[in-house]
Amino acid sequence: MQQHAGLPRLPVWTRSLRGHGSMIFRATMVRSALLAALIFGATGLFARDAHAEVSELRLARQYGISHLAMALMDQLQLVQHQAEKAGLKDLKVTWSRFSDGPGMNEALLSGNLDIANGGLTALIVLWDKSKGAYVGLSALSSMPAVMMTRDPAITSVKDFKESDRIGLVSRVSMQAIILRMLAAEAYGKDQSARLDHLTVPLPHPDAMAALLSGRSEITAHFTAAPYYQQETAAGLHRAFSSYGILGGPATYSVVWTSKKFIEQNPRTTQVVLAAIEEATDIIKNDPRRAAETYLKAEDSSLSADAVEAMIKDPENVFTMTPQNVMKFVNFMTETGTVKSPANSWKDLFTSLIADKPGS
């Protein structure tokens, strides 16, 4: 499959996606079973010296502008900078890349990762399943999920046909839950899963490549920056965005970890929060530097002007303050994805950011 401008250099699928949805469904079921087993059966997670903070901090980040702060922290070594200021000069920092939140949750639960980064809904699911043992450390961004299609006749979820296939990250991703919100609004709450069978879980770069190729079954991509801008530039159709149903900015990207990690590593946790704050300040005060750093971190062929424009887009808000979190919690509870919901955004996040004006 041809590599497209601005596409991160990742392996993209070069074979037909026919039958892929069922294969991913089986893989998702296996993943869900593993997740449950790790949460309820594992003992001795994070088996480290309880009297000393970690000597190696293992972080992970995902792809896209919504996770920009993490890209800056990685590329500019902001965690190391804050660690040195805090007197943790020997802290080793390592980074991993993931394409979805469930994969990060597995790494957290198996003890192979300390701090994860992804969509809000992955945190909500883990918080619920772990009975609050894992919490948000900070929000990173609020931005829309955008439905891109090859069919200009599609302007709402009611326009999708049985022949359509919608690429999205996973069936518990932000886009998947927002798609259910839109289906519930269009058809009734008991029909929230009406379009689930049309979805195909794919990493954003792969879904974009499939949509742009015109040679796969993927006819739509529910995505975020910078992918929808690239698809718009390629002549594809922007059908709708999530802000219509959410009523404005809503937290998209978050950072999370276990309460145990926070309790055993208070200084390291504060270092990470300081690094997130430093990255957020760079994004707000020097968007050009943030754009250029992002391009290096992603090895992208997008222009610095294009990325800077995305950062300055008023639809995209880079903030540590959780926004509209409870809209997702309440909907996921009403539709059965969450069994024991948080009562407030403050339950879902660490008390270290409880002073922020979240919602």
Same domain assignment for residues 348 and 269: yes
Coil, strand or helix at 246: helix
Same domain assignment for residues 137 and 274: yes
For the segment 62-77, the average pLDDT, to the nearest whole number, is 95
Are residues 185 and 192 in contact, defined by beta-carbon separation less than 8 angstroms? Answer: no
Same domain assignment for residues 344 and 287: yes
CATH number at residue 258: 3.40.190.10
pLDDT of residue 16: 35
- Looking at the DSSP bridge assignments, the partners of residue 142 are 251, 317
Same domain assignment for residues 305 and 242: no
Whole-angstrom Cα distance, residue 78 to residue 284? 16
And the tokens for 352? 């270290």
242-279 pLDDT, tens digit per residue, is 999 999 899 999 999 999 999 999 999 999 999 999 99
Q: Is residue 68 part of a domain?
A: yes
Same domain assignment for residues 124 and 205: no
User: DSSP per residue over 128-189, as a string?
Assistant: HHTTTSEEEEEEEEE---EEEES-TT--SGGG--TT--EEES-TTSHHHHHHHHHHHHHH-G
pTM of full prediction above 0.85: no
Helix, strand, coil shares of the chain, percent, nearest 5, are: 45, 15, 40
| pLDDT over 60 at 319, yes or no | yes
Same domain assignment for residues 309 and 268: yes
Handedness of CA 32, 33, 39, 42 (dihedral sign): negative
Residue with tokens 């796969």: 216
Domains in the chain: how many in total? 2
Are residues 264 and 50 in contact, defined by beta-carbon separation less than 8 angstroms? Answer: yes
pLDDT of residue 193: 96
Coil, strand or helix at 251: strand
pLDDT of residue 35: 55
Same domain assignment for residues 197 and 274: no
User: DSSP per residue over 38-79, as a string?
Assistant: HHHH--STT---TTS--SEEEEEE-SSGGGHHHHHHHHTTHH
Same domain assignment for residues 137 and 151: no
| pLDDT over 50 at 7, yes or no | no
Whole-angstrom Cα distance, residue 10 to residue 3? 9
pLDDT of residue 18: 38
- Looking at the DSSP bridge assignments, the partners of residue 146 are 223, 241
Whole-angstrom Cα distance, residue 15 to residue 27? 18
205-236 pLDDT, tens digit per residue, is 999 999 999 889 999 999 999 999 999 999 99
For the segment 151-167, the average pLDDT, to the nearest whole number, is 97
Same domain assignment for residues 152 and 83: no
Q: Please, which residues have CB within 8 angstroms of residue 144's CB and are 6 or more apart in sequence?
A: 224, 241, 242, 243, 252, 315
Domain with 236 in it? 20-31+145-246
